[in-house]
């Protein structure tokens, strides 16, 4: 496994920057090990919903998890407000960094992750290939 530490800066888009990093570094199978930081605007898709919910205001990132491939990312996030109320969902474009996001990605060497259409779900789902 290779470790890739990343720090995102204010106003950067969380999902876009992670997808760019994976493509720019030719990483074929990545996963989030850890993340701490904050957002000034959050864009998430809640469970069993199709629309993106935009949430204005500062939130702490208390968890980020998911997989990344050259085809894109599947990321889930948990966010906490100033009162400790937590909300989570699927990360969408528009999650803008407030102060920082300190992220460590792992690279699963020997594997290739792809996102392929899945007839059962209607979404592009993870396809795992072992390199030979």
For residue 94, the domain's CATH number is 3.30.1330.80
- Specify the pTM: 0.94
Of 6 and 123, the structure prediction assigns the larger pLDDT to 6
Residues 68-85: pLDDT tens digits? 999 999 999 999 999 999
Domain holding 80, by residue range, is 2-130
Ranges of beta strands (E only) in the chain are 2-8, 30-45, 53-69, 72-80, 86-91, 96-107, 111-117, 124-130
Number of domains the chain contains: 1
Shortest CA distance to 64 belongs to which of 97, 89, 29, 81? 89
Q: What are phi and psi of 70, to 5 degrees?
A: -60, -20
């Amino acid at each position: 496994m290779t470790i890739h530490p990343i720090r995102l800066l204010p106003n950067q888009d969380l999902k876009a920057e992670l997808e760019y990093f994976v493509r720019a570094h030719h990483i074929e199978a990545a996963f989030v090990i850890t993340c701490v930081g904050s957002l000034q605007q959050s864009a998430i898709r809640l469970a069993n919903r199709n629309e993106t919910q935009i949430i204005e205001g500062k939130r702490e990132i208390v968890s980020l998890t998911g997989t990344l491939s050259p085809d894109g990312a599947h990321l889930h996030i948990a966010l906490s407000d100033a009162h400790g109320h937590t909300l989570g969902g699927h990360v969408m474009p528009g999650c803008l960094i407030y102060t920082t996001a300190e992220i460590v990605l792992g690279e699963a060497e020997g594997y290739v992750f792809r996102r392929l259409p899945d007839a059962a779900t209607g979404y592009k789902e993870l396809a795992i290939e072992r390199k030979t």
